[in-house]
Amino acid sequence: MRMRQAAVAVLALAALSCFPGGAGAKVGHGRPPAKQWIDFELEGSNGYSIHVSVNPRRHLILQVTKEGFAAEYMTRDVLADTDRVKAKLLGLGTISVRFHPRGSVRHPLLPGCGRKRPTVQPGVVRGTIRFAGEREYTKVKVREAEAAIEEPVRWFCRYGVKFEPNPREREWVSKFSAGVLGVSFLARKYRPGMIEGGQVLYWAETGEAFETASGRVPLTIYRHLRVPAPASTFRDARPEHLTVSPPPPFSGTGALARTPESVFTWGGDLSVQFPGLDPIPLAGPSFESGYCLRESGCFRQHADYP
Partner 1 sequence: MVAVVLLTATGTGQARLQHAGKFEVQQADTAGFLRLGKERGYETALYMPNERLVVFYASRIERSKDDFFSSTYSIYAVRNRGDLEHGVVRARFGSLGRVSLRFRPSGRMHKRDPQPGCEGGSGITEEGTFVGHLSFRGEGNYFHVSSAKGEAYISHSPRLRCEKGQALESHPRSLRKYVAPIPLLPDEYSIALLYASTRSHGRYVGITATHPEGSPPGAGVQLGIVEPRHGMAIGHGVYLNGPPGTLRTSLPGAHPATATLAPPAPFYGEAAYSEESDAWTGTLGVKLAGLRLPLTGPGFHVHLCVVNPLRDRDGCDFFRTEPPPEQRPARRGSALR
Residues that bind partner 1 (CB under 8 A): 239-240, 258-263, 291, 293, 296-302, 304-305
Q: Which residues pair with 73 in a beta bridge?
A: 62, 221
Nearest alpha carbon to residue 236 among 254, 220, 248, 250: 254
For the CB of residue 298, give the shortest distance to partner 1 in the complex, in Å. Answer: 8
Q: Which is nearer to partner 1, 163 or 305 (CB)?
A: 305
Element (H, E) at 254: strand 254-258
User: Residue 69's CB: how many other CB atoms inside 10 A?
Assistant: 18
Q: Which is nearer to partner 1, 20 or 239 (CB)?
A: 239
For the CB of residue 236, give the shortest distance to partner 1 in the complex, in Å. Answer: 11
Is the previous residue joined to 152 through a cis bond, with omega within 30 degrees of 0? no
For the CB of residue 238, give the shortest distance to partner 1 in the complex, in Å. Answer: 9
Q: Which is nearer to partner 1, 80 or 263 (CB)?
A: 263
For the CB of residue 253, give the shortest distance to partner 1 in the complex, in Å. Answer: 21
Q: Which is nearer to partner 1, 165 or 297 (CB)?
A: 297
Q: Which is nearer to partner 1, 184 or 289 (CB)?
A: 289
- Give CA–CA dist 243/175, Å, rounded: 12
Query: Hey, what amino acid is at 215?
Result: G
For the CB of residue 109, give the shortest distance to partner 1 in the complex, in Å. Answer: 47
For the CB of residue 15, give the shortest distance to partner 1 in the complex, in Å. Answer: 28
Q: Which is nearer to partner 1, 191 or 300 (CB)?
A: 300
User: Residue 297's CB: how many other CB atoms inside 10 A?
Assistant: 8
For residue 120, what are the CA distances in angstroms to 77, 102, 217, 304? 21, 11, 29, 52
- Give CA–CA dist 84/95, Å, rounded: 10
Q: Which is nearer to partner 1, 112 or 260 (CB)?
A: 260
CB 149 within 8 Å of CB 112: no
For the CB of residue 300, give the shortest distance to partner 1 in the complex, in Å. Answer: 5
User: Residue 249's CB: how many other CB atoms inside 10 A?
Assistant: 17
Nearest alpha carbon to residue 190 among 168, 158, 219, 214: 168
- Give CA–CA dist 11/96, Å, rounded: 28
